[in-house]
């Protein structure tokens, strides 16, 4: 069972515009959510995270929003740049001792066109 | 130099062969993980280790075994490889010292089982 779902396999946006990547989860025990970015031939790299006690976390051009009642989170990239083109994975985990049990979505491939 | 390294980066093997994938880290982290990535499924946890003496099965451990030789080294073995173990394998680490940690990934090993 996929507890973390990214329903859009791909997204294409114009440089300078906003990119919005979405993620849904089913396990109400998840309390920590992360976004990773992956370039070809490289491992995923951490981008931004949010704890379930918050509904928004911002880091430069990247903002993650969490809607616990809808079990939904989104990543906003403003403004989008060609270097942001990558696969983005949403991940979620449940508590310190379950940090091992991090579940990942299938990923969304973002293409930012110049 | 990369903090988390994986060897080999690419491997082709035949059904029934035993192979080992190796992971080393210089981050000084206690926790290490092995994941596999398949198209449309994201990353799934195979095994994880909280320290040298603590090894645990993940979501999909059947057909795999691991060895934590030292804090810095964590190996994944396929005792008798089969074609559906063809995938991209990632090693990851995390400090293991605070709540809600980020995991740091190696560059991956692409495995093809013929």
Residue A33 has pLDDT above 90, yes or no: yes
**CB-CB under 8 Å, B100 with A51:** yes
Residue A98 has pLDDT above 70, yes or no: no
**CB-CB under 8 Å, A41 with B104:** no
pLDDT in tens, A79-95: 999 999 999 999 998 86
- The span from the first CA to the last CA of chain B, in angstroms, equals 33
Cα separation of A109 and A89, whole Å? Answer: 9
For residue B71, what pLDDT is reported? 94
* Residue B70: CA count within 13 A, CB half-sphere: 8
Residue A101 has pLDDT above 80, yes or no: no
Closest CA in chain B for residue A33: B100
For residue B96, what pLDDT is reported? 77
Using an 8 Å CB-CB cutoff, list chain A residues near B58.
100-101
For residue B7, what pLDDT is reported? 97
**CB-CB under 8 Å, B44 with A100:** no
Q: Say which of A32, A41, A43 has its CB closest to residue B105.
A: A43
**CB-CB under 8 Å, A46 with B103:** yes
**CB-CB under 8 Å, B105 with A107:** no
For residue A19, what pLDDT is reported? 98
For residue A4, what pLDDT is reported? 95
**CB-CB under 8 Å, B103 with A102:** yes
Per-residue pLDDT, averaged over A92-112, amounts to: 83
Nearest CA among A36, A39, A76, A38 for reference residue A56: A76
Contact A107, A5 (CB under 8 A): no
Q: What's the mean pLDDT when you consider all of chain A?
A: 93
Q: Say which of A43, A46, A105 has its CB closest to residue B107.
A: A43
Mean pLDDT by runs of 10 across the 114 residues of chain B is 89 97 95 92 92 90 95 96 96 82 92 96
Cα separation of B7 and A106, whole Å? Answer: 25
Percent of chain A at pLDDT above 70? 95
| Residue A99 contacts B, CB cutoff 8 Å | yes
For B75-93, give one letter per residue: b (16+ CB within 10 A) or e. Answer: bbebeebeeebbbebbbbb
Percent of chain A at pLDDT above 90? 86
Residue A97 has pLDDT above 60, yes or no: no
| Residue A105 contacts B, CB cutoff 8 Å | yes
Closest CA in chain A for residue B107: A43
Cα torsion for A110, B102, A23, A4, to the nearest 10°?
120
- Per the DSSP assignment, residues forming a β-bridge with B64 are B78
Give the highest mean pLDDT range of A48-52, A76-80, B100-104.
A76-80
For residue B95, what pLDDT is reported? 87
* Residue B96: CA count within 13 A, CB half-sphere: 17
For residue B2, what pLDDT is reported? 67
pLDDT tier, A38 (very low <50, low <70, confident <90, very high otherwise): very high
Q: Say which of A45, A46, A106 has its CB closest to residue B41.
A: A106
To test the contact with chain B by mutation, choose from A43, A52, A101 the residue with the greatest count of B C-beta atoms within 10 A, namely A43
Per-residue pLDDT, averaged over A11-26, amounts to: 98
For residue A66, what pLDDT is reported? 98
Cα separation of A65 and A57, whole Å? Answer: 7
């Amino acid at each position: 069972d996929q507890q973390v779902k990214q329903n859009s396999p791909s997204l294409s946006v114009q440089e300078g515009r906003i990119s919005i990547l979405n993620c849904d989860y089913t396990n109400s025990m998840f309390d920590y959510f992360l976004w990773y970015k992956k370039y070809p031939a490289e491992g995923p790299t951490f981008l931004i995270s949010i704890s379930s006690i918050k509904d928004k976390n911002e880091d430069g051009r990247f903002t993650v929003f969490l809607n616990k009642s809808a079990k939904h989170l989104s990543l906003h990239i403003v403004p989008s740049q060609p270097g942001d083109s990558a696969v983005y994975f949403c991940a979620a985990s449940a508590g310190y001792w379950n940090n091992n049990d991090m579940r990942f979505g299938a990923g969304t491939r973002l293409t930012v066109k110049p | 130099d990369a903090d988390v390294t994986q060897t080999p980066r690419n491997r082709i093997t035949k059904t029934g062969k035993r192979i080992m994938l190796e992971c080393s880290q210089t981050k000084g982290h206690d926790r290490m993980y092995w994941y596999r990535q398949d198209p449309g499924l994201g990353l799934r946890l195979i095994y994880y280790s909280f320290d040298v003496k603590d090894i645990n099965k993940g979501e999909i451990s059947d057909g795999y075994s691991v060895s934590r030789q030292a804090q810095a080294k964590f190996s994944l073995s396929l005792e008798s490889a089969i074609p559906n173990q063809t995938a991209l394998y990632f090693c990851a680490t995390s400090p293991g010292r605070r709540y809600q940690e980020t995991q740091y990934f190696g560059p991956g090993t692409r495995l093809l089982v013929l």
